């Protein structure tokens, strides 16, 4: 947990997480924007393509959010159970959380990207 | 029981492993296999002999009575059907046999597709590791966390209605793929731990070559077990979706749909044959796959066993 | 010492409150995650909500008016945020068709207890029968008992609920007429909305076997139990089969492990060894598995309700998907997801009690 009385550490804490989500966000922005533009070229209907791409973005975002909270919820349990059962697996809560944070960023990016492109078109 | 794989090649490895021997001594697995082969014979017979259009169409208005009990019960009228007829005067015997064809066909498509996709994802995740592994497997984990039938229901709601049974197939493929990915990844990691893969890579083998020649054959056993167990599940889930009205289109002689019509038309009036026979076929088929799958799992190398749920 | 102090005493050394609070807070992102997925499903699903509400014959102006009323003409990000806000307050508007004019919230609060009751009986049967069966089967591996239990469990998971259910109805209701075919209570009996405890009026739970006991109405309780018997048997057998299979394999796993052998070598009796080391350790994966299995049980409840015509969440979601009643679909899916998460949260806490290493 971050300590609020400690600015450098807080900045570090936030920056690390922002980078993780941000990398996903950028990819999502591009994907969402291109997706909407491409879909519109194909169908000729901005409104429906925006709706489809936006919904896909919401799906990815929601999926990531579920996975993120899920890995914290069950993460330690899974790690301990695998250790307990002697199963060799390199599943860790940390990896799972990070992958899901990226996915969340990506989903958010798609939603923003499609909204911006649809507004421009 | 662990196998020291001295022999090379898939066949040699199979022969050397106690997997086959154990499997044959396991009588339940043999019973399961017999059931499956028998059902497959029934399916092919029905596919060759009967015409789907004739089985699907209503026979009301012909000389065949509707909701007639099985012919061997009570006084015999002029035309008898072995399993009786349903509310549209269709022959339940022929429809049940044809149901075997539909169940095995769509079961094979569902399991085959999810195995192929899952195996691909699992091996790629295990071999490349790192970010690839994380993105693939964590996504699979989230899919695995959803209750299977409820996830399938939610997915079915997205697809257009006119897809019929394909709608259920696609939903179930999405539900099952993560299981295969997980099993295969676990098995592949164990193969990668063995030194000879490192040795082949050191000798200059390229990625696809290592994946196909060394990792895939060694993960075949757990894949087969998982596929067999999942086959039973797939048949039951496809029938469940049809039963709930999200699978086969009206008239199709699928077991799930026949059961749903049986509940609708024969439950309160005591026409038990409407639901009894299709359900019996369904339960026996699923039991066959579960018996075989269980036996195979017991015969499997314990190192691989714990990856299968 | 009063009750609260006692309860805290009881909970304190085993599961720290911080552990529980952190997990409860995680329910918020879970809710938003599910809500986003539901939003996506709604917008990807075929069919125009306006047509569903107004019918095929509605004029273009009527349809347009409904779309504006539903907010479908606003920008998507605005629709999305509104939807999340509504989901947070558990407000999904009104049902389009299956319970037209009623709020989704009231539909769910009517029907959730019905499904919960069924699921609880199923889960209870699974735990009370399935766990012991699985343990016996593992301990007496390869004995006759083991074989019978295994084949029984295998049959139990192979026989679909939508076949065993109708057959039981046919045999016991239609032919023998000893159980009712559907419904939850005799149609001649009416239950009040509230019950009284020490002169205070309290709302009823909606679980009919519980309510009739709270009301002290023996006749109604017997009727409710009579109605619930067959569905409970169907789902109970299914859940017993599932849990006994899992318990057997995880118990075998534990027995194979070294420390049991060590304990035996030290001269402890077989039974004591098993109870002291085996059970507790075998319980860890089983508790997790019960949580995961609860999802399968909910799927079983959907089928059971459809077969027995019990108007719970399962039948509601199936009907709502069938007629594209999206507000109801959203509400029920979200409720199922929250229920599933809550059960797993409970499992997680139990689990950390069994294996304190997890709390860290």
Q: What is the mean pLDDT of chain A?
A: 74
Q: What is the mean pLDDT of chain B?
A: 78
* Predicted confidence (pLDDT) at residue C23 exceeds the cutoff of 70: yes
Min Cα distance C292 → chain B (Å) is 7
- Give the nearest partner residue to B142 out of A67, A87, A98, using CB atoms: A67
Same domain, C137 and C74: no
Q: Greater confidence, B236 or C3?
A: B236
Q: Name the pLDDT band for A83 (thresholds 50, 70, 90).
A: low
Which residues of chain B have a CB within 8 Å of the CB of A67?
138-139, 141-142
Give the number of other CB atoms < 10 A from CB of residue B276.
Answer: 22
A84 touches chain B (CB under 8 A): no
- C5 within some domain: no
- C191 within some domain: yes
A56 touches chain B (CB under 8 A): no
* Predicted confidence (pLDDT) at residue B308 exceeds the cutoff of 60: no
Per residue in C30-39, pLDDT (tens digit) is 888 888 888 8
Which residues of chain C have a CB within 8 Å of the CB of A55?
39-40, 42-44
Please report the pLDDT score of residue B5 as a whole number. 41
Q: Greater confidence, C167 or B189?
A: C167
C40 touches chain A (CB under 8 A): yes
Per residue in B143-181, pLDDT (tens digit) is 777 778 888 888 887 777 777 788 889 999 998 998 888
CA–CA distance from B127 to each of A89, B123, B176, B198, C147 (Å)? 14, 6, 21, 12, 40
Give me the domain span that covers residue C30. 24-89
- C17 within some domain: no
B residues 17-46 lying closer than 8 A (beta carbon) to C: 28
CA gap A111, C87 in Å, rounded: 19
Same domain, C121 and C236: yes
Would the CB atoms of C40 and A84 count as touching at under 8 Å?
Answer: no
Which residues of chain C have a CB within 8 Å of the CB of B239?
160, 162
Please report the pLDDT score of residue B6 as a whole number. 44
- For the purposes of burial, counting CB atoms within 10 Å of the CB of A4, is it exposed (0-12), middle (13-18) or buried (19 or more)? exposed
**Cα–Cα nearest to C299, from B284, A75, B243:** B243
- Give the nearest partner residue to C40 out of A56, A68, A69, using CB atoms: A56
Which residues of chain A have a CB within 8 Å of the CB of C257?
86
Please report the pLDDT score of residue B113 as a whole number. 94
Please report the pLDDT score of residue B281 as a whole number. 93
Of C55, C89, C123, which one is at a domain's C-terminal end? Answer: C89
- C100 within some domain: no
Min Cα distance B153 → chain A (Å) is 16
CA gap B76, B70 in Å, rounded: 9
Average pLDDT over residues B93-122: 91
Average pLDDT over residues C245-257: 75
Please report the pLDDT score of residue B80 as a whole number. 64
Per residue in C306-342, pLDDT (tens digit) is 888 888 888 898 888 888 788 888 888 888 888 877 8
* Predicted confidence (pLDDT) at residue C178 exceeds the cutoff of 50: yes
Using CA coordinates, name the residue in chain C closest to B294: C154
Would the CB atoms of A51 and C76 count as touching at under 8 Å?
Answer: yes
Structure tokens belonging to residue C229: 């018997």
Residues 6+ apart with CB under 8 A from B207: B127
Q: Name the pLDDT band for A1 (thresholds 50, 70, 90).
A: very low
End-to-end CA distance of chain C: 30
Same domain, C279 and C341: yes
A102 touches chain B (CB under 8 A): yes
- Give the nearest partner residue to B240 out of C162, C321, C333, using CB atoms: C162
Beta-bridged to residue C196, according to DSSP, are C201
Q: Greater confidence, B65 or C262?
A: B65
CA gap C104, C331 in Å, rounded: 7
- Give the nearest partner residue to C160 out of B157, B158, B279, using CB atoms: B279
- Give the nearest partner residue to A50 out of C41, C76, C357, using CB atoms: C76
Q: Name the pLDDT band for B35 (thresholds 50, 70, 90).
A: very high
- A5 within some domain: no
Same domain, C77 and C117: no
Min Cα distance C346 → chain A (Å) is 11
Pairs of CB atoms within 8 A across B/C: 118
Chains touching B, CB cut-off 8 Å, 3+ pairs: A, C
Residues 6+ apart with CB under 8 A from C348: A73, A74, A77, C23, C291
- A32 within some domain: yes
Average pLDDT over residues B275-291: 91
A96 touches chain B (CB under 8 A): yes
Using CA coordinates, name the residue in chain A closest to C78: A115
- A111 within some domain: yes
Same domain, C42 and C154: no
Helix (H) or strand (E) holding C196: strand C194-197
Structure tokens belonging to residue C323: 């007629």
CA gap B286, C161 in Å, rounded: 13
Per residue in A4-48, pLDDT (tens digit) is 455 667 777 777 777 777 877 888 888 877 877 777 777 777 777
Report how many domains make up chain C. 2
Give residue limits of the domains in chain B. 24-55+67-304
CB C195 within 8 A of CB C211: yes
Same domain, C85 and C204: no
Please report the pLDDT score of residue C1 as a whole number. 47
Beta-bridged to residue C203, according to DSSP, are C194
Per residue in C84-130, pLDDT (tens digit) is 888 888 888 878 777 777 888 888 888 888 888 888 888 888 888 88
Residues 6+ apart with CB under 8 A from B262: B86, B271, B274, B275, B276, B278, B279, C166
Average pLDDT over residues C275-296: 67
Please report the pLDDT score of residue C270 as a whole number. 58
C351 touches chain A (CB under 8 A): yes
Would the CB atoms of C303 and B158 count as touching at under 8 Å?
Answer: no
Average pLDDT over residues A106-118: 84
Same domain, C231 and C337: yes
- Give the nearest partner residue to C333 out of B154, B160, B243, using CB atoms: B154
Average pLDDT over residues C150-173: 89
Report how many domains make up chain A. 1
CATH at C207: 1.10.3720.10
Please report the pLDDT score of residue B303 as a whole number. 56
Same domain, C62 and C158: no
* Predicted confidence (pLDDT) at residue B291 exceeds the cutoff of 60: yes
Would the CB atoms of B142 and A95 count as touching at under 8 Å?
Answer: no
> What percentage of chain B carries pLDDT values higher than 90?
19
pTM, full prediction: 0.81
Average pLDDT over residues B123-137: 78
Of C42, C57, C89, which one is at a domain's C-terminal end? Answer: C89
CATH number for the domain running over B24-55+67-304: 1.10.3720.10
- C84 within some domain: yes
Same domain, C116 and C152: yes
Give me the domain span that covers residue A84. 12-120
- Give the nearest partner residue to C154 out of B150, B240, B291, using CB atoms: B291
Q: Greater confidence, C269 or B182?
A: B182
Average pLDDT over residues C43-69: 75
């Amino acid at each position: 947990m971050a300590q609020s009385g400690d600015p450098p550490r807080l900045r570090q804490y936030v920056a690390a997480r922002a980078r993780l989500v941000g990398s996903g966000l950028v990819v999502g922005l591009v994907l969402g924007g291109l997706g909407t533009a491409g879909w519109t070229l194909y169908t000729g209907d901005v409104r429906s393509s925006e709706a489809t791409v936006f919904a896909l973005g919401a799906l990815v975002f929601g999926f990531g959010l579920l996975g993120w909270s899920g890995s914290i919820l069950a993460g330690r349990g899974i790690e301990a159970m695998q250790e307990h059962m002697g199963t060799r697996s390199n599943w860790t809560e940390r990896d799972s959380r990070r992958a899901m944070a990226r996915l969340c960023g990506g989903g958010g990016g798609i939603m923003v990207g499609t909204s911006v492109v649809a507004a421009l078109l | 029981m662990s196998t020291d794989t001295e022999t090379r090649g898939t066949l040699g490895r199979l022969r050397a492993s106690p997997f086959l021997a154990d499997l044959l001594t396991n009588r339940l697995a043999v019973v399961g296999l017999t059931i499956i082969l028998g059902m497959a014979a029934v399916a092919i017979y029905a596919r060759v002999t009967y015409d789907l259009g004739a089985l699907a169409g209503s026979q009301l208005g012909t000389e065949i009575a509707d909701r007639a009990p099985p012919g061997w019960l009570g006084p015999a009228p002029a035309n008898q059907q072995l399993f009786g007829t349903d509310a549209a005067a269709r022959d339940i015997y022929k429809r049940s046999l044809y149901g075997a064809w539909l169940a095995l066909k769509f079961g094979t498509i569902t399991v085959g597709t999810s195995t192929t996709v899952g195996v691909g994802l699992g091996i790629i995740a295990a071999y490349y590791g790192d970010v690839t592994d994380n993105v693939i497997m964590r996504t699979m984990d989230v899919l695995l966390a959803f209750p299977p039938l409820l996830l399938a229901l939610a997915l079915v709601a997205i697809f257009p209605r006119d897809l019929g049974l394909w709608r259920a197939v696609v939903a179930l493929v999405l539900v099952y793929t993560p299981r295969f990915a997980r099993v295969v990844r676990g098995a592949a990691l164990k193969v990668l731990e063995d030194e000879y893969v490192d040795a082949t890579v050191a000798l200059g083998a390229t990625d696809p070559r290592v994946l196909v020649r060394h990792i895939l054959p060694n993960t075949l056993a757990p894949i087969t077990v998982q596929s067999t167990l999942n086959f039973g599940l797939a048949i039951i889930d496809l029938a469940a979706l049809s039963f709930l009205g999200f699978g086969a289109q009206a008239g199709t002689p699928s077991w799930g749909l026949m059961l749903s019509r049986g509940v609708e038309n024969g439950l309160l009036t005591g026409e038990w044959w409407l639901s009894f026979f299709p359900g019996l076929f369904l339960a026996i088929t699923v039991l066959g796959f579960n018996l075989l799958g269980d036996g195979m799992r017991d015969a499997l190398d314990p190192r691989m066993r714990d990856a299968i749920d | 010492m009063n009750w609260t102090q006692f309860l805290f005493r009881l909970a304190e050394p085993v599961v720290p409150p911080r552990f529980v609070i952190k997990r409860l807070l995680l329910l918020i992102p879970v809710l938003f995650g599910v809500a986003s997925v539901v939003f996506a499903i709604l917008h990807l699903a075929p069919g125009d909500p306006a047509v569903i509400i107004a019918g095929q014959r509605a004029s273009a102006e009527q349809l347009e008016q409904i779309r504006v009323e539903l907010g479908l003409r606003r920008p998507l990000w605005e629709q999305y945020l509104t939807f999340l806000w509504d989901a947070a307050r558990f407000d999904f508007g009104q049902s389009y068709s299956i319970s037209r004019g009623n709020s989704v919230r009231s539909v769910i609060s009517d029907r959730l207890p019905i499904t919960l009751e069924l699921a609880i009986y199923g889960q209870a049967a699974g735990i009370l029968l399935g766990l012991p069966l699985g343990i016996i089967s593992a301990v007496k591996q390869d004995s006759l008992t083991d074989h019978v239990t295994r084949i029984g469990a295998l049959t139990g998971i192979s026989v679909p609920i939508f076949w065993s259910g109708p057959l039981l109805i046919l045999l016991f209701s239609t032919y023998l007429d000893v159980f009712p075919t559907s419904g939850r209570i005799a149609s001649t009996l009416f239950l009040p909305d509230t019950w009284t405890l020490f002169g205070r009026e309290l709302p009823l739970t909606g679980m009919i076997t519980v309510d009739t006991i709270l009301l002290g109405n023996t006749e109604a309780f017997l009727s409710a139990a009579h109605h619930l018997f067959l569905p409970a048997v169907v789902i109970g057998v299914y859940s017993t089969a599932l849990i006994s299979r899992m318990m057997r394999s995880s118990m075998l796993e534990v027995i194979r492990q070294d420390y049991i052998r060590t304990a035996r070598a030290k001269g402890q009796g077989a039974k004591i060894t098993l109870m002291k080391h085996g059970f507790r350790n075998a319980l860890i994966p089983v508790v997790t598995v019960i949580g995961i299995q609860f999802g399968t049980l909910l799927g079983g409840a959907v089928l059971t309700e459809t077969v027995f015509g019990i108007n719970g969440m399962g039948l509601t979601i199936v009907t709502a998907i069938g007629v594209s009643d999206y507000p109801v679909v959203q509400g029920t899916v979200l409720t199922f997801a929250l229920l599933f998460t809550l059960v797993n949260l409970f499992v997680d806490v139990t689990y950390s009690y069994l294996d304190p290493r997890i709390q860290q």
